[in-house]
């Protein structure tokens, strides 16, 4: 695999297709350029997804993110473009991308975009009771 920035997102087969499970990634060094000023914008991207048949290969994701370093992009547009590209590559059951852009002009910007595969419903949340070991009682 190359070490050059590329828009190609590689995947590998989901090793546990029968189960819904969440993959969480944090990308703290995302950069793109402000289309108005040309100055760099810095963000932490938070990616959560429930794979279907494919998972994203991490090095290819890193090289994909590098392609935005010299690209002019509004925060809203770049967040949605990245999500669209990930949906196209993965066809996940569910995916959410949060872009937390650092302060510029006294304003932080957070953009959240989601995609849910048609027909997919999340499993019900299981509420577990906490147990206090010292008093031997449930909280």
55 is catalytic: no
32 is catalytic: no
DSSP 84: H
The active-site residue, picked from 34, 48, 52, 85, is 34
Residue indicated by tokens 């006294």? 106
Q: Which residues contact 32 (CB under 8 A, 6 or more apart)?
A: 40, 41, 43, 68, 69, 71, 72, 73, 78
What are the residue numbers of the active site?
34, 41
């Amino acid at each position: 695999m190359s070490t050059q920035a590329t828009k190609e997102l590689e995947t590998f087969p989901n090793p546990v297709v029968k189960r819904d499970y969440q993959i969480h990634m944090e990308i703290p060094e995302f950069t793109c350029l402000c289309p108005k000023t040309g100055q760099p914008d810095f963000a932490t991207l938070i990616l959560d997804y429930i794979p279907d048949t494919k998972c994203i290969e991490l090095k290819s994701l890193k090289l994909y993110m590098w392609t935005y370093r010299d690209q002019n992009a509004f925060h809203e547009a770049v967040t949605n473009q990245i999500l669209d590209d990930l949906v196209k590559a993965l066809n996940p059951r569910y995916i959410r991308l949060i872009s937390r852009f650092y302060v510029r002009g006294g304003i932080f910007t957070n953009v959240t975009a989601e995609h849910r595969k048609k027909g997919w419903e999340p499993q019900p949340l299981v509420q577990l009771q906490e147990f206090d070991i010292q008093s031997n009682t449930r909280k």
